[in-house]
Chains A and B, each alone.
Chain A
Amino acid sequence: QVQVVESGGGVVQPGRSLRLSCAVSGFTFRSYDMHWVRQAPGKGLEWVAVIWYDGSKKYYADSVKGRFTISRDNSKNTLYLQMNSLRAEDTAVYYCARDRKRAGDYWGQGTLVTVSS
């Protein structure tokens, strides 16, 4: 069965960096575009970034452009989100989601990132 597992969250000081990982199994990872979506405490869903199935294209929300980098390693079935220059407003649960015809059909359980001094 499909499994999507995020990791790498934690508490980090403002201005520092963190890398999130999303390990998948149960489907052909290299065939699917993948997204990161986040949710601040008590707030709604905010799309963060998407990467094409082959890594050839990447798009970002304006709120993270220039600070976050999405990448993938299809040989390891893993998606990444490198987050630099973190701010308090980046505090959220970060989910990765598989893209099926522009819908997120499989999601991980999320990993919490807290940016605080």
Chain B
Amino acid sequence: DIQMTQSPSSLSASVGDRVTITCQASQDISNYLNWYQQKPGKAPKLLIYDASNLETGVPSRFSGSGSETDFTFTISSLQPEDIATYYCQQYDNLPVFTFGPGTKVDIK
């Protein structure tokens, strides 16, 4: 089974800061990697699909990159409403979803 790791597990940053989260797969998953945002008490929301494609309606300050085993999720300018936990999810082993452990983002 493919395992997903994320780092850091949590971070605190100031409004306006650039925030970067990494996700690593245990084997090559091409670009089969999605990113979600989950706010407390809410369902996950798809932000990025296929590693780098911005979901419709998602602000452009969110972006993703990477391929094979190493992926990066970036918030170019952190906003107060971005406080959430972010998860990566791979789907190379169709049709199973495998989620990363999550990264909790707070405002400093």
Binding site for B on A (CB under 8 A): 33, 35, 37, 44-47, 50, 57, 59, 61, 95, 97, 99-105, 107-110
Chain B residues with Cβ below 8 Å from A61 are: 96
Chain A residues with Cβ below 8 Å from B42 are: 109
Nearest 9 pairs between A and B by C-beta? A102-B91, A107-B43, A47-B97, A45-B99, A103-B49, A103-B34, A44-B102, A50-B95, A105-B46
| Interface size bracket, B side | 20 to 34
Chain A residues with Cβ below 8 Å from B49 are: 100-101, 103, 105
Chain B residues with Cβ below 8 Å from A97 are: 44
A45 with B87: CB separation less than 8 A: yes
* The residue from B43, B55, B94, B101 contacting A110, defined by CB atoms under 8 A apart: B43
- 32-60 of chain B: CB within 8 A of chain A: 32, 34, 36, 38, 42-46, 49-50, 55
B95 with A59: CB separation less than 8 A: yes
Contact residues of B: prevailing secondary structure: loop
A105 to B42: give the CA distance in the assembly, Å: 14
B43 with A108: CB separation less than 8 A: yes
A33 to B96: give the CA distance in the assembly, Å: 12
- A47-B98 in contact given A101-B49, A104-B46, A107-B43 (Cβ < 8 Å): yes
Contact residues of A: prevailing secondary structure: strand
CB distance from A58 to the nearest CB of B (A): 10
B43 with A95: CB separation less than 8 A: yes
A59 to B98: give the CA distance in the assembly, Å: 13
A-B contact pairs, 22 of them (CB 8 A): A35-B97, A37-B97, A45-B36, A45-B89, A47-B98, A50-B96, A50-B97, A61-B96, A95-B43, A97-B44, A102-B91, A102-B97, A103-B50, A103-B89, A103-B91, A105-B49, A105-B55, A107-B43, A107-B44, A107-B45, A108-B43, A109-B43
